[in-house]
Amino acid sequence: MKSIYLLTTLLFLLNLDSFSQSAQTDINRINALNESAYKARLTNPDLSYKNSNEALILSKKNNYVKGIAESYRIRGISKYYQNQSDSAIQNYLTSINYFKQLKDQAGEAKVLNNIGTLYRDVDYDKALEFYNKSLEIAEKLEITDLTTGLNLNIGVIYQKKKEFKKALISFNKSYVQFQKQKNSTGLALSLQNMSVVYKYLNQLDTAEAFAKEAIVIAKENDLKYVVAGTNLTLSYVYISKGKYDEAARSINEGVSYAKEIKDKRLEYDFLYNSYTLENYRKNYQKALGYLQQIYRQDSLVYKNIVSDRISLQQEQFNQLQKQRENELTIQKQKTNQVIFWSAVVVSGLLFVVILLLVGNVNKKAKTNKELTRLNHEISLQKENLDRINHNLEDIIDERTKDLRIKNHKLSQYSSHLSHQIRGPVSTIKGLVNLQKEDLIEKEEFVQQLDKCIVDIDNKILNINEMLHNPQLLGFKDEEDEA
């Protein structure tokens, strides 16, 4: 009997050791996948999502909670670079929930930083709120690399708020720290953002130098997102300096990188720079074509929709999270009951079984009462979700209707321009035919021709003025809409 017991124990320990080795191998694989996914965020967001999703599946299989939290975080980052804000916020909130369960403040600080970046383009104050929360934790835990990245991100917000002195202080601080850490990605991003600030300060030579240096580092490290974004700044600098051929090359290179990383927002920004370039070159027909595409995309409406949808999505997620927690409580209670009864049967202790059965009657009554309360809460939460979804649909319908009206007005304006130019051109053609038939005196012909040319010149000046004044097209500016 003792021999059988010893043999059983030995086999159990061998199996346990084999299981532990397998689990450790999976954990190493999970960490490697998440690390490669994070590195790919600026070069290949699709690959970043693929690797982090594979890490998430493996983490759930092994019940590796830290791996689950980190996988959700990096999935959110990849969705941000794919311009899918709704999916990004869902992943971030799920991630921070797991880090809170683990009481992992370092992980929580990273997610707060990521959420701040998500708000960076739509709500500067909200972004600063999340960045400062993250910075407080990072400085307390002395997480150097996160602190450095937060200085860079905070500088971006100050730059967007036109507080350029504060922005340069943050960027210079992050640049020095990235140099110490030998972080090429951080250096490229710092240089890129400093070039943007000096562009706004109209220090074009300095802006050009920083942008070129950023592009060199970015290309060496295959940072396609940085190359695209920096070319946007560089093209504007070249336009301002009158270097139109260099500007065109920067725009073409930037657009190719933006398309490669599938960044529609960057493509839109390059579209505006293309319009500015052709307008400076006095290629008004091309400029008008770019302007039509710009109004078709309507970036202001896009930003408003993203801001509204992020807020609604966050509220919706919180409601769903409560619902999941309630459902999880119910499931845990059912699971505990199954485990409890199984243990009673295995033990074979009749007296213990009787005592537990008596206690279970009282527990069942409490459980049923709790189930009734939880089901009622779930019903209320579902009603709230329906109302939120309805509000979201109304917002999208309103923005879509506004965009149709703007496109209709732009079409009417194009028809008006065509009619205005066609009149004097038709008159010139008539004068030429009269001259060919010798039906008009040469002096009168020259006089009438001069009038037509003056008329055309005035209309071209009028077109140029209207291209630079959207209100003349019938569109309201951003302050009027507010």
Query: What is the predicted pLDDT for the residue at 4?
Result: 55
Percentage of the chain exceeding pLDDT 90: 42
Query: What is the predicted pLDDT for the residue at 301?
Result: 46
Query: What is the predicted pLDDT for the residue at 480?
Result: 47
Residue 269 confidence class, pLDDT cut points 50, 70, 90 = confident
Q: What is the mean pLDDT of residues 258-285?
A: 87
Q: What is the mean pLDDT of residues 456-467?
A: 77
Buried b (16+ CB within 10 A) or exposed e, 88-123: bbbbbbbbbbbbeeeebeebbbbbbbbbbbbbbebb
Query: What is the predicted pLDDT for the residue at 317?
Result: 62
Q: Is it the case that residue 401 has pLDDT exceeding 80?
A: yes
Q: What is the mean pLDDT of residues 144-152?
A: 93
Quick: pLDDT tens for 318-351. Answer: 656 665 665 665 577 667 667 766 666 776 777 7
Query: What is the predicted pLDDT for the residue at 227?
Result: 94
Quick: pLDDT tens for 9-46. Answer: 555 444 545 546 777 888 999 999 999 999 898 889 89
Query: What is the predicted pLDDT for the residue at 122?
Result: 81
Query: What is the predicted pLDDT for the residue at 177?
Result: 93
CA-closest candidate to residue 118, choices 72, 170, 163, 81: 81
Quick: pLDDT tens for 403-450. Answer: 888 777 767 667 766 777 778 888 888 888 888 888 888 888 888 888
Sketch the domain layout of the chain as residue ranges: 183-297, 347-481
Contact, 189 vs 226, CB < 8 A? yes
Query: What is the predicted pLDDT for the residue at 481?
Result: 45
Architecture per CATH, domain 183-297, reads as: Alpha Horseshoe (1.25)
List Cα–Cα distances, 195 to 47, 75, 156, 435, in angstroms.
29, 30, 12, 59
